[in-house]
Structures are given as structure tokens and as C-alpha cells.
Amino acid sequence: MGTLAGKRALITGGASGIGQATTMLFAREGAAVAIADVDKAGGETVVQTIRDVGGQAILAPCDVTQSADCQRAVRLTVEELGGLDILFNNAGIIRRTNVLDTTEEDWDRVMVVNVKSIFLMSKYAIPVMKRAGGGVIINIGSGWGLVGGADAVSYCASKGAVVNMTRAMAIDHGGDNIRVNCICPGDTDTGMLRQEAHQLGVPDTEFLAEAAARPLGRMGTPEDIARAALYLASDAASFVTGAVLVVDGGGLAG
């Protein structure tokens, strides 16, 4: 029996990066998983990989910025998997610009993907969890939700919002036996990290070397963050809510 045996999890952005690693880990730990992602091909590949080893997985094609899509993803999860116990709000984007160089369109896009999507998915997931007697919501923040960073004003603002939104949700829904926590990763070896290098016009090798300059001497891996999500999703964290878990190899330590 796995840590999440019998649980049903919905993971946004589950087709790649941290979301994919978490989807695979949750499935190995016994959960039935639903992937909510705009990347249908990538999502289908992950679903098939899980099914090939006897796991249960479905794809819920979803633009997390659209209310109707989020509602449909929750409904499909309940219909196909029999319920919803865990929501991992993982989808996110970054724009590496300061206030002067940020367009209004880019500002709005970062906010809607990184913040509004959490509001929308949670809005439709929480009633399902309440009827079932409880559940778990995990939101993806960032170290830059706790401290500032250069040339990332919209991203820092959005992740700061996620951190405090998590706390507010934990207060509001603790009485419903719904735990709400936030993971704040440091630089993690994903496609999005390499996009940052391209946005800044910095060679990948130089950018990744800087990302590894932290006490543990390396970048994070998607699996590092997935293991933190597994802890928060599991009964081992049954008295943990409103928490902000930093997983950054010591990057914010000093």
C-alpha cells in the first residue's frame, strides 16, 4: 500500500516539469491522478506511462485561466476517479522584466496563470472536498514569494500573493477539514528555468551555474519538489496547514 493509496489527485501543469514529477510520484504512491494541462500531447504521454505500469490516470484538458475549463476539470476528476482528495495548484509562468519593461499584457498574463488559476481551481474543488469530509490543497509558490528578485516584478508579485492566499485559505477552510499549504521552490531544473535564461539573454550554462550557487551546491530537481508535495498531501502532514515549505537547497538561508 502506498502513502496515497485510495486518494484521488488533480494536478495542474502535470504534463511537464514539477507537475509531471509529482503526478508520477503520486501515482507510484497509490493515488489515482488527473492531469489538468493545455499540453494535451504531453499529458497523454504521462497518462499512458502511468497506465502502462498499472496505475490509474486521466487527462483533463484545461486552460487554468478559464473558469469553465477549471470547473470541467474538477467535474471530470470526480466522474472518472470517483472523487477529489488532493488538489495541487502547480501551473505557472514567469516573465523576467522590471516595472518599466513589463507590458500590461504580460503583467495580466502572469497574474491570471499564477494567481487566478489557484482561485478558480480551488473554488470548484473545495465544495467537492467539503462534501467528502475534507481534503488537501497544495499551492506552488516560490522563494521569490518570500523575498524580492531582480527583473521579475510580476512573478514576485504573483508568488507573494500565492503565499498569503494560502494562509487565508487555510484559515477559511480549516473547519472543513481542508488543509492548505504552499511549497516555495528555489531554482529547479525545468524547462521554465531555461526560459528565464533566454528571456534575460544569458547563456544557459552561465545561468544554470548561478542557479546552483547555494549551500547544497546544486539546483533542485522536479523530484525534490514532488517529494515535498507528497509529504504535504499525506497523513504525515495531518496537522500542517497554512504552512510555507521552502525547498531551495538553502538558497534563502542567509
Query: Using CA atoms, how far apart are residues 66 and 207, in angstroms rounded to an integer?
Result: 33
Residue 249 Rama label (left phi>0; alpha psi -120 to 50; beta): left
**Residue written as cell 499564477?**
114
Q: Which of 155, 180, 184, 232 is catalytic?
A: 155
Is 231 a known active-site residue? no
Contacts by 53-59, CB closer than 8 A, 24 or more apart: 55/27, 55/28, 56/27, 56/32, 56/81, 57/23, 57/27, 57/32, 57/33, 58/33, 58/34, 59/34, 59/35
Torsions phi, psi of 57, nearest 5?
-150, 150
Rounded Cα gap, residues 217 and 249, in angstroms: 8
| Dihedral sign computed on CA atoms, order 152, 155, 158, 162 | negative
Long-range contacts of 47-50 (CB under 8 A, 24+ apart): 49/24, 50/23, 50/24
Residues 6 or more apart in contact with residue 114 via CB below 8 angstroms: 92, 93, 155, 158, 159, 161, 162
Active site positions, annotated: 155
